[in-house]
Structure 1
Amino acid sequence: AALSSMKHQARYLELQDQADELDRHITALELLQGYGISKSIGFVQDCRKDAEICYSTIRSMCRYQVRQEARNQSAFRRLQKDLFGSRDAGEEFDGLVALAFDFLDVERCRLIFMESLLDANMFSLAYEVMQNSISSISSPSGQLVSGYVSL
């Protein structure tokens, strides 16, 4: 009976992990839809095979924001949060990179985001993001690995 109970518990934990992963993928798809990118759930699962598709998707999100008529810092801060998440007081949110593209080089993702800021003439925000990126590199806390940039 104990062995059967252990098997059921292991199966339950496995199913719980799968449900958590599916929830992350659905959240990632909802983020993409906010930037005019409609993909199937299979896209998130399949993209793990090709990092370039993921980088291209991040570029598409950034280009979408650059093309918007009402370009302002708050819109680009939202894009930053949607890509990299945030660790604001009282709120913890995983962005697309953590939800679905956690195998990507975070610095390359940041570079794509920085390019979009420069394309949109958001120089002060680009400078701020660059400063935060530099401070996370020099910080012993390992912020660079997490990919989160304080907003």
Structure 2
Amino acid sequence: MKNVLLIMVLASLSGCSHQKRLASPAATGFPVLPAAITGSFSDDYGSVYTITDTTIVQQPGNTYQLLSCDTASKVIIARNAMSNHSEQGLYTRIDYMFFEGMSPWTWGYCLTIYNAPTDSAALAAPSADRSNPRKGCNGFPFTRMRRPG
């Protein structure tokens, strides 16, 4: 009985640590997102987003909990929320890029992989081809983003 109780306590502590990391990436030393990609946005498909240093919320119901952001390589690693329509709890690599001369579109992103079993597997996924934003996202275009208004 003591062994069962010990296992339950250890499992509980392990889960708490993992949840804490997911809840506040900035507090665990991960870099924050560039200001140019935080705030409210809409994409070229009509979806609306709210992006902060801890989450990306894509209406009507997908949330990504941010784990890390490498601003040099323009890569975000996130965990799919358990409330998402699909791929709940799995990991996503988001490659992003900035646009010039595409007003009102200021930047774009690619869900390079959205169903990786671990954050390490998401990070190891091949990067999107930013030299070809029209087909560089696994054969599809980068999703273009703009501020509302």
Q: Whose helix fraction is larger, Structure 1's or Structure 2's? A: 1
TM-score (ref. length: structure 2): 0.36
TM-score (ref. length: structure 1): 0.36
Q: Whose strand fraction is larger, Structure 1's or Structure 2's? A: 2
